[in-house]
Structure 1
Amino acid sequence: MSTATQAAIRAIRWYQRNISANTPARCRYYPTCSNYALQAIRRFGIVRGGTLALLRLLRCRPWSRGGIDDVPQRFSLFYRYSWSKAHEEPRLTPLASHTKEMA
């Protein structure tokens, strides 16, 4: 982990302990924006993870619907769009079943 990544993680942790802990919860998303930033930076590094965190902060506004918004498994700036496959998890069950009907 680079020095810049470690510094960003320490700064986010400081914010969580000293500022966020003393203010009422208002985040419309799960995980919270600071937890999202931690996960994104740990997964993708300071540049890519920081970009995802910044985009998340821009989405977090009073009139947004909010909801569950996990960090994508693969880096993509467009993972929130339906045509992107970056947010999909591997499937454990086949898409189609090849069973024969017994008559």
Structure 2
Amino acid sequence: MTKILLLTITFYKYFISPLLGNNCIFSPTCSEYAQEAIITHGIIKGLWLTFRRIIKCQPFCIGGYDNVPTSIKNSKQPTKKI
């Protein structure tokens, strides 16, 4: 299941995302963040972190550097401006 999910994200990253343009306000991009979160924390926690990250992707958010937390306890760390 993890492999299929990661392949889906990779497909989006290389084939769909370029058609939408470079609009990401975060570093790493949401697709890179999703891949790292799923690899680091597993499917359930990784998808939860990815969902929270995508929700922040809106015009009222400053953006910046927002890495995957090493533990879920640290997941409320503030986003660093780049």
Q: Which residue of 2 aligns with 1:24?
A: 21
What does 1:73-92 correspond to in 2, within 5 Å?
A: 73-76=70-73, 78-80=75-77
Contact 2:69/2:75, CA 8 A, preserved across alignment: no
- Percent identity of paired positions between Structure 1 and Structure 2: 33
Aligned-partner SS, 1:26 = coil
Q: CA RMSD in A?
A: 1.5
Contact 1:52/1:77, CA 8 A, preserved across alignment: no
Q: Which residue of 2 aligns with 1:49?
A: 46
Runs of 4+ in 1 over 3 A off after TM superposition: none
Which of 1 and 2 has greater Rg? 1
Q: Which has the higher helix share?
A: 2
Distance 2:7 2:74 in 1: 25
The normalised TM-score by structure 1 is 0.70
Q: Which residue of 2 aligns with 1:92?
A: none
- Tell which has more relative contact order, 1 or 2 (C-alpha 8 A, sep 6+): 2
Instruction: In structure 2, list runs of 5 or more residues that go unmatched.
Output: none
Out of 59, 81, 86, the residue aligned to residue 56 of structure 2 is 59
Instruction: In structure 1, list runs of 5 or more residues that go unmatched.
Output: 82-103
